[in-house]
């Protein structure tokens, strides 16, 4: 079942993207397509992360379904917290590192400002990717694959309509809006299907701590950007491709360290959850 689910999601997502990109190229020209290409490829490659985690967790969820309901709900809550934390960090990284990333992806032959704007917004669709993959695998474990299929096709249909309406006015951003619409519809369907498994009294405080950690990490990223720009202006750090590589590595590592530190200081994950996260990481490595 999970193989069919992964295949279905992959083909529907790819078909939707291909159709919207073809429509973009036909109406706006290849130059606008070039602005979208780099950011879209970067985000597409990161879809493998939630897919690997979700596939690795299917046996865990299947075993919990056969046991007590509370055990399944606990495993789901732990996974949701981890998925949300990782996706939030990736979204922040795409926002604050959009300029050097598009320079590395596209060189200097494309309007980098437009491509950076696309990437800084498109990167946040990762926050929907992660829970959507989790919803998909938990629905498979519960034997409710039909709801996943409904969400996928409904999201694809809405996304194509949004693309048709927004590409003429917003060009490459129209494709971004279409992807958000498609993933957003599936998110709503998945959340509704899994609603009774949410225990908000325990889960909501943890999610709010993750949001706070993300806000603090955003400040760390911002300070890192400002510091790097000053160093470049003073000639301490080179510009061009080498400067972009250094900015991604240095500011990215600073942001990662800040996010981990914030999660630890806010006590977002307890010891049992840390052990579960470690086990999940080991399972995902084996699947790869």
pLDDT of residue 74: 83
pLDDT of residue 232: 85
Predicted TM-score (pTM) above 0.85: yes
Asked if residues 5 and 148 have their Cβ atoms less than 8 Å apart, the reply is: yes
Q: What is the pLDDT along the chain (288 residues), one digit of tens a residue?
A: 555 556 666 666 666 666 676 666 666 665 566 677 778 888 888 888 887 777 777 777 777 776 677 888 888 888 899 899 999 999 999 999 999 998 888 776 666 788 888 889 999 999 999 999 899 888 888 888 888 888 888 888 898 888 888 888 888 888 889 889 989 999 999 999 999 888 888 889 999 999 999 999 999 999 999 998 888 888 888 877 888 899 999 999 999 999 999 999 998 887 777 766 666 556 555 555
Q: Which residues contact 101 (CB under 8 A, 6 or more apart)?
A: 42, 94, 116, 119, 244, 248
Asked if residues 182 and 148 have their Cβ atoms less than 8 Å apart, the reply is: no
Q: Could you tell me the residue ranges of all domains in the chain?
A: 2-287
Q: How far apart are CA 230 and CA 255, in angstroms?
A: 18
Residues counted in the chain: 288
Checking 166-173 for CB contacts under 8 A at 24+ apart, the result is 167/20, 167/23, 167/24, 167/27, 167/28, 168/27, 171/24, 171/28, 171/32, 171/35, 172/24, 172/28, 172/32, 172/33, 172/35, 172/36, 172/114, 172/118, 173/117, 173/118, 173/121
Q: How far apart are CA 254 and CA 246, in angstroms?
A: 12
User: Please, how many CA atoms are within 13 Å of residue 270, restricted to the half-sphere of its CB?
Assistant: 8
SS3 268: coil
**DSSP assignment string, 198-225:** --HHHHHHHHHHHHHHHHHHHHHHHHHH
pLDDT of residue 286: 57
Asked if residues 208 and 263 have their Cβ atoms less than 8 Å apart, the reply is: no
Q: Which residues contact 25 (CB under 8 A, 6 or more apart)?
A: 32, 33
**DSSP assignment string, 128-142:** HHHHHHHHHHHHHHT
**DSSP assignment string, 66-80:** HS-HHHHHHHHHHHH
Other C-beta atoms lying within 10 Å of the C-beta of residue 121: 18
pLDDT of residue 168: 84
Compute the CA torsion angle 16, 61, 127, 201 (nearest 10 deg).
Answer: 140
């Amino acid at each position: 079942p999970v193989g069919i689910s992964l295949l279905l999601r992959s083909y529907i997502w790819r078909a939707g993207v291909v159709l919207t990109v073809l429509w973009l190229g036909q109406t706006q020209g290849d130059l606008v397509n070039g602005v979208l290409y780099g950011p879209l490829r970067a985000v597409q490659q990161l879809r493998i992360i939630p897919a690997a985690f979700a596939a690795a967790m299917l046996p865990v969820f299947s075993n919990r379904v056969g046991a007590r309901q509370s055990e399944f709900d606990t495993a789901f809550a732990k996974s949701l917290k981890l998925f949300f934390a990782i996706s939030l960090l990736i979204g922040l990284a795409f926002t604050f590192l959009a300029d050097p990333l598009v320079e590395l992806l596209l060189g200097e032959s494309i309007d980098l400002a437009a491509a950076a704007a696309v990437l800084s917004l498109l990167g946040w669709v990762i926050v929907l990717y992660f829970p959507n993959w989790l919803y998909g695998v938990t629905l498979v474990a519960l034997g409710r694959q039909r709801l996943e299929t409904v969400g996928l096709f409904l999201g694809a249909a809405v996304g194509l309509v949004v693309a048709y309406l927004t590409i003429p006015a917003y060009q490459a951003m129209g494709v971004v809006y279409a992807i958000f619409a498609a993933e957003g519809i599936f998110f709503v369907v998945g959340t509704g299907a899994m609603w009774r498994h949410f225990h908000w009294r325990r889960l909501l405080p943890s999610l709010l701590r993750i949001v706070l950690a993300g806000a603090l990490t955003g400040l760390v990223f911002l300070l890192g950007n400002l510091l790097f720009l000053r160093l470049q202006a003073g000639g301490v750090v080179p510009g061009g491709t080498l400067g972009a590589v250094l900015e991604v590595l240095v500011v990215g590592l600073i942001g990662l360290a800040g996010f981990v530190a914030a999660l630890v200081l806010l006590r977002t994950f307890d010891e049992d959850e840390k052990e579960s996260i470690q086990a999940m990481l080991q399972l995902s490595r084996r699947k790869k």
